[in-house]
Amino acid sequence: MTYRTEFDATAGDRPVRAPKSKQKRGWKIFLRDILLIFLAALLISFLIKTFLIRSFYIPSSSMEETLHIQDRIIVNQLEPKFMPIEHGDVVVFRDPGGWLPPDNTQPVNWFVGAVDAALAFVGLSAPDSNDHLIKRVIGLPGDTVVCCNDFGQLTVNGVPLEEPYINLPEGITKATRDDFEVTVPEGKLWVMGDNRYNSADSAFHRDDPTGGFVPIDNVVGRALLISWPVDRWTWLDNYPVTFSDVDGTAKK
């Protein structure tokens, strides 16, 4: 009785080569697996961008020195859908109406536009950053926000705020330019830029039809960290100590 082995008797000790059809099938399986992994990665990135986090860049100086122009930030989109907004949060939101200037964006090269769209699909680019605003939450629904007390401080529900994050012009101690007193309606927010004298925020827009208030439904999410440039990588604080007494008196 003879047995078939992996060596061909007529070829000495040389191993028999696999048929070309099997080699081609092996490459096809390999390429298929690579494609499936790539598509799975795209899907996961898309789902993360859609439901969890996404990237934005900073188009203006209204949040300096906390955020600089062209900083990239990571935004947590679970807030406010699944997590409550808190005092001091830095939030990204859609224009509540007339806060942004007319769009004068120039057309871009088709290839650049296609690459940007692909990166935006997976959350690595943010071509719509110019359609959003970013400010710090000062007043929640039911809060009364006043500018200013005798020391130039904002007060929320009668509690003066020590605001280490604000950027004021040299020699100025008043927390913002104009005096006001507002009570935040249900479902709305009062937001202000950290660069107080150079920010078109709630105080700036208080005489607009919006009254300076931002609907909570317009909030895309809370900015968590600066992701780029690398030398500015940092978590974005919501300064709980600044608002600790306010949180104790806030109307819920």
For position 191, which CATH number holds? 2.10.109.10
Residue 11 lies in a domain: no
Same domain for 122 and 30, yes or no, is no
Same domain for 25 and 76, yes or no, is no
Q: Are strands 72-76 and 90-94 parallel, antiparallel or unpaired?
A: unpaired
CA–chain centroid gap for 146, Å, is: 28
Q: Across residues 199-212, what is the average pLDDT?
A: 96
> Which residues are known to be catalytic?
62, 135
pLDDT score at 197: 96
Same domain for 40 and 106, yes or no, is no
Residue 10 lies in a domain: no
Same domain for 115 and 220, yes or no, is yes
pLDDT in tens, 161-190: 999 999 999 999 999 999 999 999 999 999
Same domain for 79 and 142, yes or no, is yes
pLDDT in tens, 85-100: 999 999 999 999 999 9
- Per-residue pLDDT at 107 exceeds 70: no
Same domain for 116 and 178, yes or no, is yes
Residue 7 DSSP label: B
Same domain for 35 and 77, yes or no, is no
Highest mean pLDDT: which range of 14-23, 99-108, 139-148 = 139-148
Residue 91 lies in a domain: yes
Q: Which strands form 154-156's sheet, in the order they lie side by side? A: 159-160, 154-156, 144-147, 180-183
Q: Which residue has the higher pLDDT, 42 or 31?
A: 31
**Complete DSSP assignment for 115-181:** HHHHHHHTTS--TTGGGEEEEEEEE-TT-EEEE--TTS-EEETTEEP--TT----TT--SSSSS-EE
Residue 168 lies in a domain: yes
Same domain for 116 and 232, yes or no, is yes
Same domain for 33 and 110, yes or no, is no
pLDDT score at 101: 81
Same domain for 78 and 187, yes or no, is yes
**Complete DSSP assignment for 55-107:** EEE--SSTTTTTS-TT-EEEEETTTTTTS---TT-EEEEE--SS-SPP--PPP
Same domain for 223 and 146, yes or no, is yes
**Residue 206, exposed/middle/buried by CB under 10 A (0-12, 13-18, 19+)?**
middle
% of the chain surpassing 90 pLDDT: 56
Residue 140 lies in a domain: yes
Same domain for 68 and 173, yes or no, is yes
Confidence of residue 62 (pLDDT cuts 50, 70, 90): very high
Residue 109 lies in a domain: yes
Q: What is the mean pLDDT of the chain?
A: 81
Specify the number of domains making up the chain.
2
Q: Structural domain of residue 165, as residue ranges? A: 55-249
Confidence of residue 4 (pLDDT cuts 50, 70, 90): very low
